[in-house]
């Protein structure tokens, strides 16, 4: 049986307020992105240039950036489902060198698929007055999607540049993008479509 992904909206432009918007970089680590990684996402390396452009845009406008770094330890329950990956302190756990955090960027260890679960992420964002999150990285239908869902439940608006996202399978990516718009009222665009303004009316999820 074949199933077609229903159409979803991709905006040519999305405006975000530099004072209340943060960029979340999810799972851009060697185990997911680089050859030899334990849980390699085939298309992840192709997203490095657009993610770098997004980070340059954010830094050029003094926007907050948070790296959500997948982090596991010996005996982690997640390794019963997935191959061992992102063991703290290993090469695979490290954020890829091309997107290394800069001074002023925050790095939050991510313990589960949802970057908010058991972490200080929400407290950090609220302390900065953040209301909108631009999500990028890998794996789209797992860590990015669960984080987007958790963000919306906490009343953050979600924006996703689709060219800065990857998944293990093309179907997973498309299904995740559909869920972002249909369930989370998220707005999809491209990195080139993100417009940073001093004050913007950012729609909250319905």
Assign 206 a pLDDT band (cuts: 50, 70, 90). very low
1 occurs within a structural domain: no
Assign 76 a pLDDT band (cuts: 50, 70, 90). confident
d(CA 38, CA 15): 37
Phi, psi of 14 (to 5 degrees): -135, 125
57 occurs within a structural domain: yes
Q: What pTM was computed for the model? A: 0.92
2 occurs within a structural domain: no
How many domains are contained in the chain?
A: 1
The parent domain of residue 34 ranges over 14-197
- Domain holding 167: CATH number? 3.40.50.850
3 occurs within a structural domain: no
* pLDDT score for 2: 77
Mean pLDDT score across all residues of the chain: 93
* pLDDT score for 4: 79
Cis omega (within 30 of 0) on the bond before 139?
yes
151 occurs within a structural domain: yes
130 occurs within a structural domain: yes
146 occurs within a structural domain: yes
Give me the mean pLDDT over the 82-106 stretch: 95
Assign 39 a pLDDT band (cuts: 50, 70, 90). very high
* pLDDT score for 5: 78
Q: Which residues contact 185 (CB under 8 A, 6 or more apart)?
A: 152, 158, 203, 204, 205, 206
Which residue reads 């030899």 in tokens? 36
4 occurs within a structural domain: no
């Amino acid at each position: 049986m074949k199933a077609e992904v229903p159409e979803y909206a991709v905006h040519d432009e999305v405006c975000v307020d530099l004072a209340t918007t943060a960029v979340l970089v999810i799972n851009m680590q060697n185990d997911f992105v680089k050859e030899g990684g334990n849980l390699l996402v085939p298309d992840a390396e192709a997203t490095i240039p657009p993610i770098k452009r997004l980070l340059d845009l954010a830094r050029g406008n003094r926007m907050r950036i948070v790296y959500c770094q997948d982090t596991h330890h010996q005996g982690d329950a997640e390794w019963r489902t997935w191959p061992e990956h992102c063991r703290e302190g290993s090469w695979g756990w490290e954020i890829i060198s091309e997107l290394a955090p800069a001074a002023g960027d925050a790095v939050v260890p991510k313990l589960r698929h949802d970057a908010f679960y058991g972490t200080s992420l929400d407290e950090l964002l609220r302390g900065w007055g953040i209301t909108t999150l631009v999500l990028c990285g890998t794996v789209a239908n797992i860590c990015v999607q669960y984080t987007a869902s958790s963000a919306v439940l906490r009343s953050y608006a979600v924006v996703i540049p689709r060219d800065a996202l990857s998944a293990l399978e093309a179907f997973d990516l498309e299904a995740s993008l559909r869920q972002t718009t249909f369930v989370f009222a998220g707005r999809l665009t491209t990195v080139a479509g993100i417009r940073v303004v001093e004050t913007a009316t950012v729609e909250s999820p319905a």
